[in-house]
């Protein structure tokens, strides 16, 4: 018996009857011989962790555009916090931790530079629309590894696609990530907003704080414990009505106070203008894109506007600024 087979046997004996067992996966689009050490979801987790799109998340905006300071969240640190929250819940519920972690690490791979401002810009520019959760699936299915994709399992891709608020993941592990994403960004965005002088703790309405807690640590603790307490031994992932209502209302408060706050978001229009300029440039000059995207155009795998969106959405904030300056900002004349 291989190490992988022993791990799969352990899963069947120990995990919850509602867990997604590795050996019961619906598999990959392209068959591969099994690993002798790692079950399928662990392999997926490793593939995501080692891919280029994952590394680029460290230079992509979470909420604050190119903040001055080393302690603000990036899209990468957000992803890691989602993963940590999700793994804690999955472990307590005896669900599949590898599947949970793979979904969490991959859920934002398709995010644009400049966060949701960049997403809105590409959605407006592309006639077929643009959404980061769909792009995350496109990254793992088609764009990574020079167009070969990561060949992930059905369950991981389903969780990535359905992590959005209106999504309906088919596994409990995916539902954990869907909630953990909200828990992470609500709490760390409050922390960053306080650090950035946008909010003070006392600005948060007391009725939410009395339910969830009076600081970030208490709120995280309340939400995670509440999910575990109300999902243990159940075929669903849920929160109590009181905590869920307070969390949703706190999320609405954050939209009003931070996500649309001119002090925090005043530069977003400039970022959108940059992506609009880059989109127009690459539509007119596709030869300026990197080789793998030029190959996609040459092979006619997708319409040009989709490939241009692929290229721009993969950029980091700094690279998008660099390319915009290269194309649109005049250089000093040197005799």
Per the structure block, which two tokens stand in for 175?
A: 């539902």
Quote the pLDDT of residue 27: 98
225: number of Cβ within 10 Å: 14
**Tens digits of residue pLDDT in 94-148:** 999 999 999 999 999 999 999 999 999 999 999 999 999 999 999 999 999 999 9
Give which of 202, 237, 203, 206 is closest to 223, Cα–Cα: 237
Predicted pLDDT at 335: 59
Residue 143's contacts (CB-CB under 8 Å, 6 or more residues apart) are: 53, 149, 310, 314
**In this model, does residue 264 exceed pLDDT 80?**
no
Structural domains in the chain, CATH included, are 3-265 (1.10.3210.10), 268-328 (no CATH)
- What value does the mean pLDDT take over residues 255-279? 88
Percent of the chain past pLDDT 70, that is, above it, reads 99
What are the tens digits of pLDDT across the range 210-261?
999 999 999 999 999 999 999 999 999 999 999 999 999 999 999 999 888 7
Whether the per-residue pLDDT at 175 is higher than 70: the answer is yes
How far apart, in whole angstroms, are the C-alpha atoms of residue 152 and residue 227?
28
Model confidence pLDDT, tens digit, residues 55-80:
999 999 888 777 777 899 999 999 99
Residue recorded with tokens 């904030």: 317
pLDDT value for 65: 77
pLDDT on residue 239: 98
Q: Specify whether the CB–CB gap between 210 and 246 falls below 8 A.
A: no
Query: Half-sphere exposure (CA, 13 Å, Cβ side) for 281?
Result: 17
With contact defined as beta carbons under 8 Å apart, do 35 and 111 qualify? no
Tokens of 141: 């299915």
């Amino acid at each position: 018996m291989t190490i992988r087979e022993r791990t799969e046997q352990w899963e069947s004996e120990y995990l919850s009857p509602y867990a997604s067992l590795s050996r019961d996966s619906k598999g990959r689009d392209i068959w591969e011989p099994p690993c002798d050490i790692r079950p399928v979801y662990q392999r997926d987790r490793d593939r995501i962790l080692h891919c280029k799109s994952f590394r680029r998340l460290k230079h992509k905006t979470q909420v604050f555009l190119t903040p001055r300071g080393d302690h603000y969240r990036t899209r990468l640190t957000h992803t890691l916090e989602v993963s940590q929250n999700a793994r804690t819940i999955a472990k307590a519920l005896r669900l599949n931790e590898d599947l949970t972690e793979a979904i969490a690490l991959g859920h934002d791979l398709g995010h644009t530079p400049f966060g949701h401002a960049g997403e809105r810009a590409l959605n407006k520019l592309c006639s077929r629309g643009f959404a980061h959760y769909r792009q995350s699936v496109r990254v793992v299915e088609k764009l990574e590894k020079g167009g070969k994709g990561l060949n992930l399992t059905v369950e991981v891709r389903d969780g990535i696609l359905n992590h959005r608020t209106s999504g309906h993941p088919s596994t409990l592990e995916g539902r954990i990530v869907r909630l953990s994403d909200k828990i992470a960004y609500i709490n760390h965005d409050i922390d960053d907003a306080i650090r950035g002088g946008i909010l003070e703790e006392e600005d948060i309405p007391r009725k939410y704080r009395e339910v969830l807690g009076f600081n970030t640590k208490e709120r995280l603790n309340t939400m995670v414990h509440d999910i575990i307490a109300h999902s243990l031994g159940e075929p669903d992932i849920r929160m109590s009505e009181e905590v869920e209502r307070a969390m949703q209302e706190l999320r609405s408060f954050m939209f009003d106070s931070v996500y649309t706050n001119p002090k925090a978001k005043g530069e977003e229009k400039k970022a959108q203008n940059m992506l609009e300029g880059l989109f127009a440039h690459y539509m007119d000059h596709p030869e300026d894109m990197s080789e793998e995207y030029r190959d996609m155009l040459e092979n006619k795998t997708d319409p040009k506007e989709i490939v241009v969106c692929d290229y721009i959405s993969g950029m980091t904030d700094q690279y998008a600024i660099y390319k915009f300056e290269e194309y649109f900002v005049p250089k000093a004349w040197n005799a």
